[in-house]
Amino acid sequence: MTDEHDKKLFRSAVQDVRPLKAHDRVMAPARRRTARARFARAERAAVLAESLERPGPFIETQPLDELHYRRDGIANTVLQKLRRGDYRIEDELDLHGCTGREAHVQLVAFLGSACTRGLRCVRVIHGKGMRSGPGGPILKQTVNTLLRRANAVLAFTSARPRDGGTGATLVLLSTRR
């Protein structure tokens, strides 16, 4: 009963409202729109960096484990296409020889740069971690954990054997700008 009353009240309140004609609309100057776009890109990069800075437990992986991840709402076919190599790799980061902390810093910077440049697919080389000791493959665990936290990452998977296998990860990034 109240829903119908609310609808009638709303209709009577907006009955005289008409859309503006095209010539009455005011558009922001082009330079302002560009400045806003630059600010939005910088803001997204800051949010990405902040989301990756939070400490947290690593997701445990073993040297030969394949990594697979897709964000909620991303179709499984997207992950399959990524695994098959249907997306062109536009840049790569090689983390061999880094400590876990160095890898963290480099990966955050790399993802921020890739998002700013509008890249769609990148490769992160972390190695398999066969000689990492009892703690497991530190670089692989770092990459796995940070990529899952990054808002810009839509999906990732271990590379095909000829592209690095379980020692490299293909990452699909959001192209929203």
Percentage of the chain beyond pLDDT 90 is: 29
CA dihedral 121, 155, 152, 119 (to 10 degrees): 10
| Higher per-residue confidence, 63 vs 16 | 16
Report whether 126 contacts 168 (CB < 8 A).
Answer: yes
Q: Does the residue 104 lie in any domain? A: yes
Please report which confidence band the pLDDT of residue 100 belongs to, taking 50, 70 and 90 as the band edges: confident
Q: Does the residue 118 lie in any domain? A: yes
* pTM (two decimals): 0.64
Q: Does the residue 10 lie in any domain? A: no
Lowest mean pLDDT among 52-61, 92-101, 128-137: 52-61
Q: Does the residue 13 lie in any domain? A: no
Q: How many domains does the chain have?
A: 1
Query: For residue 167, what is the domain's CATH number?
Result: 3.30.1370.110
What residue type is 168 in one-letter code? A
pLDDT in tens, 17-67: 877 676 666 655 555 555 556 666 666 665 555 555 544 555 666 555 778
Starting at the earlier edge strand, list the strands of the sheet with 91-94.
Answer: 68-70, 153-158, 168-173, 121-125, 91-94
Q: Does the residue 120 lie in any domain? A: yes
Only one residue has tokens 């899952």, namely 148
pLDDT of residue 155: 95
pLDDT of residue 55: 44
Q: Does the residue 75 lie in any domain? A: yes
Enter the DSSP assignment of 73.
T
Which residues constitute the domain of residue 142? 53-173
pLDDT of residue 173: 94
| Higher per-residue confidence, 113 vs 134 | 113
Q: Does the residue 78 lie in any domain? A: yes
Q: Does the residue 153 lie in any domain? A: yes
Buried b (16+ CB within 10 A) or exposed e, 87-99: bebeeebebeebe
